[in-house]
Amino acid sequence: MRVAVIGSGIVGAAAAYELTRAGADVVLVDSLTPGRATSAGAGIICPWSSRVDDPDWYRFAVAGAEHYQELLAALAADGETELGYRRVGSLRLVTDDEADEVLRCVAERAAESPMAGDVELISARRARELFPPLEHDGPAIHIPGAARLDGRLVRDAMRRAAVQRGARTVNGTAAIVADSAVRGVRVGDAFIEADAVIAAAGAWSPQLLEPIGVQVRVVPQRGQITHLRLPGVETANWPVVLPRSRHYLLAFDDSRVVVGATREDGAGFDHRVTAAGLAEVLGEALSVAPGLAGATHVETRIGFRPMGPDIRPLLGAVPQVPGLVVANGLGASGLTMGPYAGAVAARLARQVDPGIDLAPYDPLR
């Protein structure tokens, strides 16, 4: 069986990898367009403390977080271990007034997911010990099982492992060829025959699917995320910090702290760092962690999140075009859900049990 995967972000790379593990012949096509969400994403894996109250979103997000254990083991067996993945825990900052209620909610969720660990309420002093630049007067919810990862490293590892197992990569803009069913894809002057196509083109999916009469309600949301460095400071084990706003802070091994991010609707595919965006990100970060004021600005990344009509992913087969699978709409949860969504898409392309009821994630809703 040959499957063409269009888009090699975190979802497409995962689909290609899972397909090659199952013995499929895979062609992975990518346009290398700037602004792919995976290249900019923060890499926070902590669905248990999310403020999202949609049970179908939450079910998928937890499955995505737990899927990483299987993925890490598979990649390690293929010689891929440099992923930036570490379970460093997270701190959800709360006020004294809301602490008990938030703790109860997070603890109930965590109790159903062994990966989350034992959730506890810690003092402001203890929170500062864990994340020294922090200045927070109230308590924090500590979730020891939360993790962070480098989305670029995970994506690239899955791509390499897929190629090692026989996948072929093609760079260029793909067009799906279909009549009564999928026939393959065209990239430039080359036609690539395929039994199934996985459309994992992120925010660019409408342009890919509309020519074959498939409408997906996906729009780009620009996110600006800033990387800082604290020279000589050991940051590898600092936890993820989740303030009361929608922003965040997380640290990596190389004295680097990542802060973000904007959520800019209506910006289209304008791939620029803006003064307002940078001011928002840095202002929010310094209001929570003023100890970062002396950090060096390394870079600000731009990504276009694929936003669907609601918070849930767009994932499933397209009945009117047999052989077509859409995997999209992960929004701000791309690195949490992406590898799992890719694995589910791979099963759909192979026409085997996806392992989850996909009705809530209908890609054409």
Residues paired with residue 147 on neighbouring β-strands, in sequence order: 45
Residue 310: strand, helix, or coil:
coil
217 CB neighbour count, 10 Å cutoff: 16
- Domain 2-39+152-217+310-361: top CATH class: alpha beta
Nearest 5°: the CA angle 53, 68, 238 is 80
Q: What angle do CA 258, 49, 225 make, to 5 degrees?
A: 20
CATH topology of domain 87-145+219-307: D-Amino Acid Oxidase; Chain A, domain 2 (3.30.9)
Cβ neighbors of 55 (< 8 A, separation 6 or more) are: none
DSSP-derived 3-state class of residue 84: coil
pLDDT at 32: 87
| Helices marked H in 132-237 | 151-164, 205-209
Please, what is the average pLDDT of the chain?
Answer: 97
Provide the H-helix boundaries in the chain.
10-21, 37-40, 55-77, 99-111, 124-130, 151-164, 205-209, 275-288, 334-349
213 by DSSP, 3-state: which? coil
Residues in the chain, pLDDT under 50: none
List the domain boundaries for the chain.
2-39+152-217+310-361, 87-145+219-307
Can you give the pLDDT at residue 194? 98
242-271: pLDDT as tens digits: 999 989 999 999 999 999 999 999 999 999
- C-alpha–C-alpha distance, residues 337 and 161, integer Å: 20
The DSSP-derived string for 244-261 is: SSS-EEEE-TTSEEEEE-
Distance CA 133, CA 228 (A): 13
Rounded to the nearest angstrom, the gap between the alpha carbon of residue 125 and the centroid of all alpha carbons in its chain is: 31
Tokens of 87: 């379970």
∠ CA 37-39-45, nearest 5°, is 75
Report pLDDT for 105: 96
Say if residues 252 and 84 touch (Cβ distance below 8 Å): yes
The whole-angstrom separation of Cα 295 and Cα 236 is 16
Give the integer Cα–Cα distance in Å for 3 and 95. Answer: 51
* 184/175 Cα distance (integer angstroms): 9
